[in-house]
Structure 1
């Protein structure tokens, strides 16, 4: 499918989704959010895709924020619908995909851009990356999960400071905070994400999907993460991947997981 605002590429088991609005610093508008939902859904359902990388076009910005011109005149009800639809269609959707999602943060990741990066399962950043949630400087708060995911990743105090000051942090601070896992030069950013993807693909995709679900359960209100882990652990015993993995271990050979 041809998209207006994103590019997709599948190579060696990795689908790379690139937000391609360089004139807008890859800002998210409703059309882009819809296209991203479609691209993520298709990649997740494609058995040849083992890992998804999300990044932005160019060296300046991953996503510089939301397209403010779209909602500057919204009512209270319209604003609430905007946040709910965005969370359901993209941000929560990405977080709960069974396919691992790596955000390769190139340059600015602000507002909705940082929220998209935080919805990914983990993040790597370029050394010129700058991240922040500047929404209070516009008289609003983060609406795509930022007030919830940022404290989970960096702690309540740091999240409160970042949200209240509307300031940006650099890549080294993000690494220190635990917001990103690794830093690379802009040229080596996607290759680093691809290298990590290669390590992921050596393992059972079925077990990885179960692991994602179990980890997310621990951050879901009303869900016992330990119980979710027990159930997911037990379910793994009924998979072909478990049979292959344990057999390969006992036979002292490399596992060839069928992904079932």
Structure 2
């Protein structure tokens, strides 16, 4: 099965599925429509789960983050409208995590901001040696709002989480692997091979076993849901700070 929707391509064949962020001219920057398409795809998977789902980006980058072009307008929107938009994003992330099948993030090139948070919603992350991981939101005065702040401490510890969030500086694939942010680090030229090996290993196990494992593991997490709900309020507060809008406008001006 093959479908296309809003810069997200879904291919399902041989019992597996691949969800590709297909906006390479913008380094696969994520829009609200793309998050909605991702959510719809995973909701459809729930009816008949693939043996494994891989999330990746077109042309060598997972994603450079959330598309910033719409952010200035959010400062003018009613807070409830912003909340509704962010809840759609959270619904997509929730659908990814709730799927009984294993979900793999193929991390190449830029894995930044919302792109990193999308990868954190996957079960296992495979990194190419050129991958860089970061949360640059603080550089623009923005608050994180897609779950990274809630999930990272349990994976890499509070110290590295605060470093990533507070400095906005990225780390390379080697450090990401050593810290526990990614589970598989491919050697040069071996990324596709490592990814295929992992997909095959996951696909040969019963899907229901993966589903039971995810339910047990997610069940011992801190209250991520409450933290993500709070993140929406923090995001709205940040959008209404004048300095945030100045920084975002400066960033967007530099893209031209």
Q: Bin the TM-score by the shorter chain.
A: 0.7 to 0.9
**Equivalents in 2 of 1:82, 1:44: separation in Å?**
23
State yes or no: 1:112 paired with 2:111: no
Residue in 1 that maps onto 2:90:
87
Cα pair distance change 1:222/1:101, threshold 3 Å: closer
Question: Quick check: 1-10 or 208-217, which moved more?
Answer: 1-10
Residue in 1 that maps onto 2:146:
144
Structure number with the higher helix fraction is: 2
Residue in 2 that maps onto 1:67:
67
TM-score by length of 1: 0.79
Residue in 1 that maps onto 2:16:
14
Residue in 2 that maps onto 1:183:
185
**Equivalents in 2 of 1:186, 1:108: separation in Å?**
16
Cα pair distance change 1:79/1:151, threshold 3 Å: farther
The answer as to whether partners of 2:150 and 2:224 remain within 8 angstroms in 1 is: no
CA apart distance, 1:33: 0.8
**Equivalents in 2 of 1:133, 1:82: separation in Å?**
20
SS in 2 for 1:53: strand
Match of 1:213 among 215, 219, 223: 215
CA apart distance, 1:105: 0.6
SS in 2 for 1:173: helix
TM-score by length of 2: 0.80
Cα pair distance change 1:186/1:31, threshold 3 Å: farther
**Equivalents in 2 of 1:187, 1:17: separation in Å?**
22
Q: Select the structure with the greater relative contact order (CA < 8 A; seq sep ≥ 6).
A: 2
Unaligned runs of 5+ in 1: 224-260
**Equivalents in 1 of 2:176, 2:185: separation in Å?**
9
CA apart distance, 1:81: 3.5
CA apart distance, 1:152: 1.7
The answer as to whether partners of 2:17 and 2:52 remain within 8 angstroms in 1 is: yes
1:81-108 C-alpha deviation (Å, 9 max, x unpaired)? 33333112x1122122111100001110
Length, aligned pairs only: 220
The answer as to whether partners of 2:35 and 2:89 remain within 8 angstroms in 1 is: yes
CA apart distance, 1:220: 4.4
**Equivalents in 1 of 2:189, 2:214: separation in Å?**
29
SS in 2 for 1:199: helix
1:170-204 C-alpha deviation (Å, 9 max, x unpaired)? 00000011000111257532432221121122222
Match of 1:196 among 198, 217, 221: 198
**Equivalents in 2 of 1:177, 1:114: separation in Å?**
15
- Structure index of larger Rg: 1
Match of 1:163 among 161, 165, 174: 165
The answer as to whether partners of 1:5 and 1:20 remain within 8 angstroms in 2 is: yes
Unaligned runs of 5+ in 2: 226-256
